Structures are given as structure tokens and as C-alpha cells.
Structure 1
Amino acid sequence: TLPEVKVDLQSGLVIGDPALSLEQVAGRFNLWREGTVAQVNCLPGERLLFQLLLPAARPGAPAVRSPGPISVQLFAVGVARNPDAPEVAVPDVLIPVDSNGRAGIPLHDPALFPEQAKWRSYLLEIETAGTKPGDYPLHIRIPGDGSQPELELLVHCLDGREPAQLDFWLDLNEYGDKYLKFLKAEKRKLTLKDRLPWDRVAYRLAHRHRAILNLLPYRSQAGAPRKYFVPRMVNRDSLNPQLDWSEFDRRFGPYLDGSAFADGQPVRHFYLPFNPDWPAPFRLYQQNRTRYEAIWQAFARAFVNHFREKGWTQTIFQVYCNQKPGPNNQIPWHLDEPKGVKDYQALRYYGELTHRAFAGAEPVQVRFRVDISHFYCDEHRGSKKKDFRVNGGDRILFPVVDIWVISDHSLYGEEAARQAARLRRQGREVWVYGDTPPLQESGRLSAWKIYHAWLQGWNGFMAWKTFADRTDQSRGTNFLLYDLNMPPIRGIFSSLRFKLLWRALEDIRVAEALTTPPEKSRAVVTHLVGAAERGDWHTLWQFRITHQLPQSTRLNGAQ
């Protein structure tokens, strides 16, 4: 059935859609009927996602046999709990299961698979890369007491063009390598060697889902660089820095040259460590501005020269100032989520400094980024403390900011959306940021978030925080991935919500491939965003399994 339908595995109630019952889901969106073979359509290179919901009384996990070139990844879906509603067993933690139905942890572990659960959820991800038109049967053996019924799923690959990659991304912001917290529980100092294999797990997990793992390389308020995130300075002359790049290259080089990824494509974005407190301390800004700026320029030259030598020219390197006034710094401005004239003027200064310091960096790409909450925000219209209009934010910041990351509560407003479209026409990047989908929110709203952002012409959606180290950490609004140390559960795991955001991107790719010219896909996605908004599960389901375009879109030239 649809993976967006979340079922409380203890009560059997549908989560986030009170009007929808489990009986209705089974009656309307069940691929299998007794004695039948289920069929789904796909395009070459598409990835399909389905939910398999089984009674918890059946021991063990399903086993899957698939013909080459189709491959299948099965996940057992463990529960997470909102601490404000701990009685609801929300399916969210994805535990990989191999083709023989074996998982890396016991599937009866009560931390993820409650003993009182009535249902067990599995996620079936089908990869069709390299397929030709034709039929590919998958056989799914369902565990049971003595009997093991087998379901057949016929994947029909259509004779159509392979969906192209979108110019739209998920940006996974995180503060340093917080995803290693499960290792830090061992209470010993982590070496670079300890970090490398888990870096690769985290980066590959993101990249496979059209996401950018973007790690802030300095302590977010103090500005000091984090260990193993910057090259080591081997002399004491900040105006002529000699930098040892060996550890940096070993750690991040495979992601900047693409060699770590199956598609060979480097990461799209990468934070640089430049900020008001590095490479020169902020007190030098106050005492000797000329020397402060000269140090910035000296380090910028060193970075650019090294990146050129390595050929790291496809990644967009970001200079981003994250500080706000606080006990850990001397910064007097809100550089992250600026509010007033002085904040905007300070960001203007750092934007101009970035452009001067990195002038002539080409073909290395360096951009100045600002994250802003109040951008033509209707809620604070007329406020001298927060209104972007009153404080001249456009006049001060538009000339220097290359990448705009704007809060959803502003960007969903009409005026903010118009101004964002203007910035896009000028060649600037515009991203929307906000909370990640809550655990108890309907999965269809995850799809809506992506459809809507793509239709607006934005570059992507940024999650302001990515990892959680507990399954009951919060209501889900500040993480998409798990780094868990709950023996025998240990490692980095995806969430169902992360998969649903990615699946919406796949819907858009398919819409583009099915329409001629591809621009007409906007009509299809407009139809899908309306369906997600009003709870029209049927439209989403039919598009996914048949790839038939909605009649109401009336597309000329649709295939």
C-alpha cells in the first residue's frame, strides 16, 4: 500500500488522517487480492516505494526474490515516540533486512518493535536502474507458523525515457559530525580513523536520496573550527598561512571529487569554516580591521589554490555566518536569522568581504549565504524590529547575498514568494527551511512540502537539523535521520519521513519524463499537490502504480 499511510502499530489507527480507517486502506489501496498477481508500472531508472503491512503475530520478516537487473531493499519499520504522546507507536525507524528476511538486529527488540503491537510495517524499495521495457516478477515470501504464502509483484517497465535528475535538493544541515554521537558514548576520544567509515555511511545515505549532508565546520556560536574539519596550520604567520591538508583531504576529498558515490557526482554544497571568528578572531575586527580582512584574504587564497589543484570545481562552497549574541562570543548581531538594520549591515559587510577575499576564484565556486526568518513576513509587517521592508533589507542585502535560505512561515506568503521569484530570475539560489515533518503528521503532507517548493521554482528544502540519537527525542520536527546506540541497535538509520520526502522528488522526476515537453509536468505536479493537500489518496496511488496522467490536467503531447 502507500508508504505515506502511517498506522499506529499498536492500535491499528491511521495516524494523521482521522477520516481514513485501516479497513479503507486495505480495501482501496491494497495491491494484492487473493489469488492474484499485483502489477505496478515504472520507468527505466525509477525507484519505487511500497509499504507491506502484516499482522505482528507472523514471526520473522518477509524474504524477497528479484530478477536482475531489478534490485530490492527491504526495511523493517521500527517505532518512534513523540514524548508528548508516548502511547502512539509511530512507524519511522528503518532497519535494513536482507533478501532472506534477516535483519541486523532482532525484530522482536521491544525498543523498536513493541510486544503489544498488532501490526508490523515493512518498506519495499525497488531499484530499476538498467532495466529495459518488459515485465519483471518479484516474489515475496510472507513468514508464518508452518505456512509461508508467497506474493508475486509484477513490475512492468514502460517503454519511456529515463527520468532526469531534478535541479532540486534536500539540504541536511547539521552542526559538525553530530551523527557520531553514538560512538562518543564509548567515552573515548575519536580519531580520524574512527570517523571515516561512518562519514561515508552518512554522506552516501544523503546522496542516494538527492540530499546534501552539509556539516557546519565551526562551533556554531563560538566560531572555533571543529576537529578534523579544517586544514591544520603549520606556521604562525596568519598573513602567509602554510596549511597541512592531509587530514582534510582524507576526510572530505571523496565527497568533493565524487569518488565516494555510485554516480560519481560531488556534493552540491559544502560549508567553508570562514565566519566572524575564523580565520581571524572577532576581537581583531574591533582592533585592526585592515589586518582582520588581510587574514581573510590570505586564507581564502590558500583554500582556492588547494581546491583548484584538487579539481573541486563542481561543488558550491558556502560562506555562512551562524552567530547570534550570546555568552560564547562577542558578536553583537543576529547573523543567523537577522532581524534589524544593524544585523543586515553586518551581513552586508561579511558578504562584501567574502566577495573580495574570493575574487577570481573561478572555476572554484564560492557563494555567500544568509539564513533569514523574517523575509517580507506578513506577520511582522510594519515592525521596526523585524520587518524586512521597514528596515531596508532588500536594499542592504540583495547586492551581496548569493544563496537565500528563507523560513517557510515567510516564504509561503504571497509577497515573499514574489520577491523570491525575482531573486531566482537574477540567478540567486532560494531555499525554504523549516521544521522536518512531525512524526504524527500524515505522510501525504511530506509530499505536499516538496511538490509545493518545486512548483515555486525554489532550489530545495533545508532541514535545519538532521540527526536524533534517541527514538523518543522529540515530536520529529528537528530530525530526519537517526544515530542510535541502543544495544543491539547501533549505527546510522534512515527515517520513513526522509524516504517520503525523497519519494515526492521521484514523483516529480516521473512527471517530467511522462510529459512532452517536460515543462508540462507542472500541470501534473499541481494536480498532485492539490491531492496531497485535500487528502485525495486515490490520485496519488493511481499515479504511482499506473503512471497514467490525471485527465484533469489535459496535457497535449503527454505520453
Structure 2
Amino acid sequence: MKTLVAADDFVDARRLASRCGSGICENRRYKPITMKSPRIWIAAATLFVCHVAAQSPAVRLWAVSDGVRVNPDTGQVFEARTDIHKDYPAGDFRQNNSVWNAATKTVSLKAARNEFVAFQVIVEAAQPVASVNVKFPGLTGPNGASIAGKGAAVLKEWYVDVRHVTTGYERSSLGPGWYPDALMPKRPTHLYSGFPFFIPDLYNNIPGQKNQALWIDLFVPFDRKTAPGGRYSGDFEVSWKGGRDSIHVVLDVWDFALPQQTHLPGDIWNGSMRNMPPDEELAYYQLARQHRFLPLIYAYRPKIKISGSDVSLDWTEYDRRLAPYLDGSAFTSAHGYWGPGYGVPIDHMMLPLNNEKGGDDSTVWPMALPNGRRTPEYEAVWKEAGRQVRAHLDQNARTRSVAKIAFLDGLDESYNEPAYEKMLYYGKLLHDAMGRGWFKYRVDGGYTRPVMDRLAREVELWVCHTEDFSIDDVDYFRKKGIDTWFYGPMIYEQKKNGGCGSNTFIDLDLLVNRGIGWVGWKYRAGWVEWEFDWNAYAAWYESENYKDSPDRIYNGSGQLIYRGAVMGYQQPIPSIRLKAQRRGLQDFEYFWLLAEKPGGKQAVDELVNSIVYKRPFGSQALLDTEIWKNNPEEWDKVRIALGERIAK
């Protein structure tokens, strides 16, 4: 007899495990084989399938949390470096970790409503594998409720090559290597990287790549009717040329929601968004809102005409551009938004004012010093412009709720007597124009207590560099009515770390990003970072995005978001470091919720101090890199303990 035997390129790894350790073939190509009996045919078919299975790539699936990164060559966790910190995570992550159980092939997570929670699936293949694709319809929960669509996003991790450790962190850096960082939304492969893909990836070009990480972002909706508390579950399936496998995902949702408002004040300074087209700018604002931070744009300005001491302001373009952010409509479905902070206006805004910086008057507003001298006409223009700014921003009730900040970049981090005199001069000028209590006059820098004692007459917001941040000084000036935020590195391995206002280095562990929310609670202080978009076009292929000399090289400095256009996306692309920062800012909302309960504040303080057990920043933390527990699983345990207590 003559029959047909499948010579397939697809093997289901689960269904044929009992026969030959792989799968049953689908009928895609056929070869005619002459058989003398059915028994011989069955034996021949079995041998053939086993032969195909033996040649199929061996693919293994496992998972890790959102707090670590996996080396695409070795499969080792970058953060598993007990030679750097003895309490870094350790063990066989392929078998078990805080979210993964290999015995049951299950990922287990917990979340509140209005919260993002994430995990990573590692697709590992010792030999090259083709046509890797995923199928994840989402999770199904109580009464047919689901977490799906945008709320169950699959993102492909893009790796960047760190060739040299970040300057100043020679001991703390996790070292050179290909780090997963950019998170690319799932899309079909055409001329750009997408799905299905190869291992090694054809576009990323990683020497010796043996695994590809996938990031799964789950968002639990705010509304209880949409997402009632309880257990949600579903299967995450991976297929490839020669097989398929799946893991089970379980998400337990507590019956409470994280607030729509963000209770930790802070922002990330940005200088590029105001030059973007409105649609692109909107996409950045919305991405930032989904990650619970505010881009602080310096600075939007109305058009101005000055004649003598008369001032005329044209707000048309200013209002058209900023109104959706000031009234919150930019964060509604009318503008395509979904996620936390729905419909909530931005928390605070920068006023359009600035003075000369080092003799450069190109960014001055409302006017530059005439011939370098202060005149009555000059002061009259500043006061009238300030008066009109207040009058305009007070017209709308929702705009009135947005906190106003006046900051003069021309005096940023200035440490000399003439600068201190100018800070006081302009502070008084602006307070005379706009009144005290309507805005906060801000200065940035690591100023001494005697200097701040002088500036306290006018300053209401002091953004202090972490190198000089002292909680004793902070408490002292709080009593004088000065709010204090911090900016700069979280960890000080060396004194020269203070030369940067960034806290975003790729080759440090992710706790430096997550720690913002925890230290913010510990010190009851807001936070600021310098930039998220620095050299973001080149960052896809060049990790050293900031270097001003061979002796000063930073990986990922001031860069948490990638320009999607480089890879054919019409949207900004988040990084894993941004996700880690989001995790810490969401953690802060857990702190706030429990603190609202009787006795909760003390409980939160005890839990936070059990993780951040020393006083970060300032002279007492200089050269001390052991300021908190270094295992992210310990931080996760505290978050879960907080969630259980809030849910009671």
C-alpha cells in the first residue's frame, strides 16, 4: 500500500511527550512511502515523527518578575551578583522565583484595581529557532470579567550593549553586557522587528543570543464593576517552528483601587516635548501619566509684546496647547487615554518666567535686562507680566487647582553671592506681582543651611541635590514653610557621583528606579529627575548616551523613553527602567492608602524602614552603597503585605 506521512515543521511539544518527547505533526508537506502492512506503517510513522522531533529546537519557557533582567546569552539574571551585594537575589530562577513555579508552570501575581503589574516570559533555545510567536488573550475572572486587550499587553524586549560601566559606579555596576531595556509593543514583522521573530533575533544582532525576553504588562481597571476582586487566570502560549508550549498566569485582585491622584509630588524635567507636534506631545504626556509621573516642561509661554512698560499677552496658542492637560481632558477617552489618573489634571506646572543665564538672554521671559541693568521700566514689565499670568490662569476653576511653580533656570545650581542676591531679588519681584501663596518660588541646588536661611525669605520650594540632602536641614526648613524635594543619584559609591542629576543608569540594578517612591515616603519629600529623552534616538544602538570626555561616560543617563520612530513606531517606547520607577511610584500609593487607616502610618513607616533601613543621601550616605535591602523580592513581599492589610 502507498500512504502519506507528514514531514512537518511544526511539533506540539505537549501531546507527543509520552511517545518521543516532542509533538504530533500537522499535515503541511507529504512524502509518499510504500508500506507492506499497517503495523509497519505505524512503526515507520512513529520513527519519522521522532526523527523530526529530534531535529526540532528544544525551547524552554520560564518567567521572572519585573524587578530583574535576564542576560540573553547566558540566561543568568543580571542582578544575581552576590559578589556586589551579599543579599542580591540568588538561586535557580528557571525553577522558582517570586512569581514563577516551574513544577506547575504558573506565574502568580497580586494587584489592586487601577494598578499595573508585570512579569517577563523567557523564551530559551540552546539552538537557533524560527517563527517564534505568542498568543495571549488575557485573563478571565469573576462573573466573566476580563483583563484583556490593552490591559494585557505583550512587549518584546530590545537589548542594548553596555560596553563600559557607568563612570563612578565601577563597584556597583552590574557590568558590561546586553541589557534588555526598550519595550516594543507586539506587532507583525515587516521591515522592523516584531512577531514572529527568530532566536537569535535578526534585528538586535546579539552575539550568542540563546533567549528572548517578553514583557507582559497587565492593567486592572479602576471600576469595581469592570474588575471585581478575585482570581483571574489565563494561558500564555508560545509557538515556534517545530513546537509550542504555554504557561499559566494567575492574578489575584484585591478589592480596593489605587487612587487616581498621585500623592508623591515630583516630576522629570524635560526640554524636548515643547518642540514636538501636538499629537506626539500628547502621546508622551499620556505615557507619563500611565507611569505616574509628570513631564515638567520648561517652559510654555504666551506670545508677548512690550511697549515701554505696557505688556500685551496673546494666550491663543498657549491655551490651545495646554488646556487639555490643565483641565484633565487629555487623560480621557476623548483623546484616546486609558489608565490611572483618568480625567485628572496635571498636578503642577512651570510658569513661563526666566532670566539670563551666563549672559545668554535667548530664553528670557518676559524681558531681558536693558544693557545689563535693572530699571524701573524693567521691573514694571516683570510685575505686569506676572499679574497677567495669574489673572489668566485663574479664569478657569480646574486650572486654579493646578499648583504653580516659578523657577529661573538662569540661576540653576548657582553657588555665589551675586546669584543669591538675584534669587532674592527675583523672588520678591514675583511675589509682589503674583502674591504669596498663589505659586511656589523654587530654587535648585545643594545649598548650605546658612545660605538657605537667607533665601528662606522668598523661597517656598527647595529642590536639593541628593549629595547635599540632609533630613535634619529639611526638617529645619519645613518649619520655616519651605517644601523640599530631592534630585540626583540614589546611591553614592563615590563623591563624583554627585556630578550628575540623573538616576537612570542602565547598568545599575532596578531598585535605584523603584527606590524613589520608598525614599519619598521615608523622607516625606517630593522628587525630581533630569530628563527622560536625552539622546533617545541614538539610544537604541548606543547605550553611552551621555559622555563629555573619555573619563565621564554614562549609560542611559536622562533617558527612560526611546523614540519609537527609529523602529517604525508612531509612539514613544518605554524602558524597563521606567517600569521599575512606575513600580515604586505605585508602591507609594499603597503607603498612602494604608496610612489613611487607624494606626496605618506607623505600620507603613515600619515596613518602609525594614527595606530602606539607613538614611539615604547626604554626607552620612557618601561611599555607603548598603542603604537598603538589595533583593527586589523582599520589596515585593512588603508590597503584598501592604495589600493584604489594606484589603482587610
- Per-residue deviation at 1:288? 4.4
* Shift in Å, 1:347: 0.7
When residues 12 and 154 of structure 1 are mapped into structure 2, their CA distance, relative to the original with a 3 A threshold, is closer
Match of 2:466 among 408, 414, 417: 408
Output aligned runs, 1:125-274, within 5 Å: 125-129=217-221, 130=223, 131-160=227-256, 162=258, 165-177=261-273, 180=276, 195-217=277-299, 229-233=300-304, 235-237=305-307, 239-262=309-332, 263-274=342-353
Maintained 8 Å contact 1:239/1:294: yes
Structure 1 residue 238: Cα displacement:
5.5
Residues 136-160 of structure 1: CA deviation (Å, up to 9, x unaligned): 1132112323433232212122345
| In 2, Cα distance between equivalents of 1:511 and 1:174 | 28
> Measured at CA, do residues 156 and 404 of structure 1 come closer, stay the same or move farther in structure 2, by a change above 3 Å?
same
Cα distance in structure 2, aligned partners of 1:315 and 1:79: 39
- Secondary structure (helix, strand or coil) at the match of 1:140 reads strand
| Structure 1 pair 21–548 and aligned structure 2 pair: CA distance change class (3 A) | closer
Name whichever of 269-278 and 53-62 sits farther off: 53-62
Question: Aligned to 2:344, what secondary structure does the other structure show?
Answer: coil
Q: Which amino acid aligns with 2:421?
A: Q
- Opposite residue 31 of structure 1, the aligned amino acid is W
Counterparts in 2 of 1:97-116, with a 5 A limit? 97=186, 105-106=193-194, 112=204, 114=206, 116=208
Secondary structure, aligned partner of 1:282: coil
User: 1:521 maps to which residue?
Assistant: 604
1:503-533 alpha-carbon deviations (Å, 9 max, x no partner): 0122232344457433122222222335982
The alpha carbon displacement at 1:337 in A equals 0.6
TM-fit CA distance, 1:264: 1.4
Bigger mean CA offset, 439-448 vs 504-513: 504-513
Please give the alpha-carbon distance, in whole angstroms, between the structure 1 residues aligned to 2:273 and 2:382.
25
From 420, 440, 443, the counterpart of 1:370: 443
Shift of 1:498: 1.0
Query: Which stretch shifts more, 254-263 or 1-10?
Result: 1-10
Deviation at 1:104, TM superposition (A): 7.7
Q: Secondary structure at the match of 1:203?
A: helix
- Structure 1 Cα separation of the partners of residues 519 and 193 of structure 2: 38
1:239 offset after TM fit, Å? 2.9
Select between 121-130 and 12-21 the one with higher mean Cα deviation.
12-21
Asked if the contact 2:183/2:576 (under 8 Å) is kept, the reply is yes
Q: Distance in 1 between matches of 2:205 and 2:483?
A: 42
1:8 is aligned, of 47, 59, 71, to 71
Q: Which moved more, 1:126-135 or 1:236-245?
A: 236-245
Indicate how the Cα distance of structure 1 residues 558 and 37 shifts in structure 2: closer, same or farther if over 3 A, else same. closer
Structure 1 residue 462 displacement after superposition: 2.6
Does residue 428 (structure 1) correspond to residue 482 (structure 2)? The answer is yes
Q: CA deviation at 1:340?
A: 2.4
1:397 — aligned with what? 455
Letter in 1 for 2:118: L
Aligned to 1:78: 158
1:348 deviates by: 1.0
1:5: how far off? Answer: 1.0
Q: Cα deviations across residues 480-509 of structure 1 (Å, max 9, x unaligned)?
A: 222254354564211111110110122232
Deviation, structure 1 residue 349: 0.9
Shift of 1:231: 1.9
Preserved contact between residue 4 and residue 443 of structure 1 (Cα < 8 Å): yes
**Does the Cα contact within 8 Å between 2:119 and 2:215 map onto a contact in 1?**
yes
- The Cα shift of 1:232 comes to 2.2
Range moving further from structure 2, 136-145 or 251-260: 136-145
Give distance in 1, aligned partners of 2:119 and 2:243: 24
Call closer, same or farther: CA 1:206–1:15 in 2, change over 3 Å.
same
Secondary structure at the counterpart of residue 612 of structure 2: helix
Aligned residue number for residue 589 of structure 2: 509
Task: Look up the SS of the partner of 1:92 in the other structure.
Answer: strand
RMSD: 3.2
Letter in 2 for 1:93: A
Distance 2:463 2:194 in 1: 41
Contact 1:448 1:533 in 2 (8 A): no
Please identify, of 25-34 and 469-478, the stretch whose mean Cα deviation from structure 2 is larger: 25-34
Structure 1 segment 49-68 matched on structure 2, within 5 A: 49-55=118-124, 57=129, 59-66=131-138, 67=140, 68=145
Aligned to 1:123: 215
Counterpart CA distance in 1 for 2:204 and 2:429 is: 50
For residue 431 of structure 2, what is the aligned residue in structure 1? 355
For 2:559 and 2:612, the matched residues in 1 are separated by 24
Question: TM-score when scaled to structure 1?
Answer: 0.79
Instruction: Give the drift of 1:457.
Output: 0.6
Deviation, 1:285, is: 7.3
Q: Distance in 2 between matches of 1:409 and 1:524?
A: 25
* Shift in Å, 1:89: 0.9
- Summarize the Cα distance change of 1:283–1:425 in structure 2 as closer, same or farther, 3 Å threshold: closer
Equivalent residue runs for 1:327-346 within 5 Å: 335-346=411-422
Determine the structure 2 residue equivalent to 1:498.
578
* TM-score, with length taken from structure 2: 0.69
Match of 1:46 in 2: 115
Cα 1:371–1:495, aligned 2, differ >3 Å: closer, same or farther? same
C-alpha deviation, 1:60, in angstroms: 3.2
Cross-structure match for 2:179: 90
Q: Which stretch shifts more, 468-477 or 196-205?
A: 468-477
Q: CA deviation at 1:102?
A: 11
Moved more, 15-24 or 117-126: 15-24
Check whether the contact 1:37–1:154 (CA below 8 A) recurs between aligned residues.
yes
1:168-213 deviation line (CA, Å, top 9, x unaligned) = 1441101243784xxxxxxxxxxxxxx0100100111112222111
How far, CA to CA, are the matches of 1:209 and 1:427 in structure 2?
Answer: 30
Alignment partner, residue 510 of structure 2: 443
In structure 2, the residue matched to 1:385 is none
- 1:284: how far off? 2.0
CA contact (8 A) 1:160 1:514 kept: no
* TM-fit CA distance, 1:6: 1.7
Give the match's secondary structure for 1:62: strand
SS for the counterpart of 2:404 is strand
Identity of aligned residues (%): 19
8 Å contact kept, 1:105–1:488: no
Answering whether residue 385 of structure 2 is matched by residue 299 of structure 1, we say: yes
Q: 1:163 to 1:266 in 2, by over 3 A?
A: closer
User: 3-state DSSP class of the match of 2:381?
Assistant: helix
1:318 has 2:405 as partner? yes
Deviates more, 1:450-459 or 1:523-532: 523-532
Q: 1:293 to 1:142 in 2, by over 3 A?
A: same
Shift of 1:214: 0.9
> 2: CA distance between counterparts of 1:238 and 1:83?
57
1:534 is displaced (CA, Å) by 3.2
> Relative to 1, partners in 2 of residues 1:120 and 1:268: Cα closer, same or farther, differing over 3 Å?
same
Query: Contact conserved, 1:46 with 1:506, CA < 8 A, in 2?
Result: yes
Note the C-alpha offset of 1:132: 1.4
Aligned residue pairs, count = 493
Instruction: Find the residue that maps to 1:548 and give its secondary structure.
Output: helix
The secondary structure found in structure 2 opposite 1:354 is: helix
1:341 touches 1:393 (CA, 8 Å); kept in 2? Answer: no
Deviations 1:93-114 (A, max 9, x none): 111126x999984365755463
Contact 2:115/2:257 (<8 A) preserved:
no
Contact 1:450 1:461 in 2 (8 A): no
Bigger Cα displacement from structure 2, 83-92 vs 130-139: 83-92
**Structure 1: which 5+ runs fail to align?**
181-194, 218-228, 324-334, 376-387
Q: Which of 24, 27, 30 is equivalent to 2:95? A: 27
Hey, what does 2:5 align to over in structure 1?
none
CA distance in 1, matches of 2:181, 2:282: 22
